[in-house]
Amino acid sequence: MTQAVLGIDVGKSKLHVCLLLPLGKSRAKSIDNTSCGHTELLDWLQQQQAGTVHACMESTGIYGNEVAEVLYAHGHTVSIVNPARVKGFATSEMVRTKTDKVDAGVIARFCAALKPAPWQPPAPQMKQLQALVRRLEALQQMHRQESNRLEAASAEAVRASIQTLVTHLETDMETIRQAIRDHMDQHPDLKQQQDLLMSIPALVAKRHNPLIKAFCARLEGRGKRKMQIVAAAMRKLVHLVYGVLKSGKPFDPEYAKAGT
């Protein structure tokens, strides 16, 4: 191993890291998942004379985004990988103990052994779109929860209070939807990607996308369980999305079938 490797186990408030240095040396540290903590991490890497590291973390949510961008901005290589890959690697090592410190070590060894592809931060317009979409999803979840409470409420005062909040959430959702539409219109590249993705029957792919429908039918014929089929269909759909965006051409089910 010629380049130092940094495994990062990401939590909401803490980052547990494992640094693998050349000649088999390793170091571990826990820091706050804050801007100050990220600066502390950079200083610590310098103290360890690690040079430019290959950092790796799992794609488990938004809590690793900031540290990934900080490391990338300071010239380090960053990889963000599917947790299932790390879990499979841990199984191959027969790692049974699961703590934050152990997980960071597993991620570091995974990175050293498999050298996952480097990650690049999204463009500013994509980051803004992601933030808008996350906010819309949060509002939609709150709307569902309050709508369910409205159905169950019997006291008139309670129903009136819930209805006021539901109406407010509906207004907020429409405001965010309009902001998303405006944002897409202001960025032709995003608009083009949206049009390409809209060519794929995605949200109801199991029923309406002929390729996914046939794929699911084959899995059902092999006796796969429902959730296994759903997970496999989602992976297949991700490949279709990637292919459409990479080619710049709308989804063609006949062409897609030829490639399966």
Domain range summary for the chain, segments of one domain joined by +: 5-114, 122-186, 198-260
What phi-psi label fits residue 120: left (phi over 0), alpha (psi between -120 and 50 degrees) or beta? beta
3-state secondary structure of 159: helix
Strands 14-20 and 77-81: unpaired
DSSP β-bridge partners for residue 56: 7, 79
pLDDT, position 227: 65
- What tokens were used for 178? 């309009």
**How far apart are the C-alpha atoms of 139 and 144, rounded to whole Å?**
9
Q: Give residue for tokens 């170091």.
A: 27
**How far apart are the C-alpha atoms of 63 and 50, rounded to whole Å?**
24
Q: Give residue for tokens 């931060």.
A: 121
pLDDT one digit per residue (tens) for the chain, 260 residues? 689 999 999 999 999 999 999 888 899 999 999 999 999 999 999 999 999 999 999 987 789 999 999 999 999 999 999 888 999 998 888 877 778 788 999 999 999 999 999 998 888 887 888 788 889 888 988 999 999 999 999 999 999 999 999 999 999 999 998 998 888 888 877 666 666 555 544 744 555 566 667 777 787 788 877 767 766 666 666 566 556 555 666 666 554 444 44
**How far apart are the C-alpha atoms of 106 and 89, rounded to whole Å?**
8
pLDDT, position 247: 60
Angle, helices 188-198 vs 156-186, to 10°: value is 110
Angle, helices 210-221 vs 226-247, to 10°: value is 150
pLDDT, position 1: 64
Domain 5-114's class?
alpha beta
Dihedral over Cα of 130, 237, 89, 224: its sign: positive
Task: Look up residue 93 and give its DSSP letter.
Answer: T
Strands 5-10 and 54-58: parallel
- H/E run at residue 219: helix 210-221
pLDDT, position 187: 81
pLDDT, position 243: 60
**How far apart are the C-alpha atoms of 149 and 75, rounded to whole Å?**
50
100 neighbors 60 (Cβ within 8 angstroms)? no
The pTM of the full predicted model, rounded to 2 decimals, is 0.65
- H/E run at residue 128: helix 124-152
pLDDT, position 99: 84
Strands 14-20 and 26-32: antiparallel
pLDDT, position 19: 97
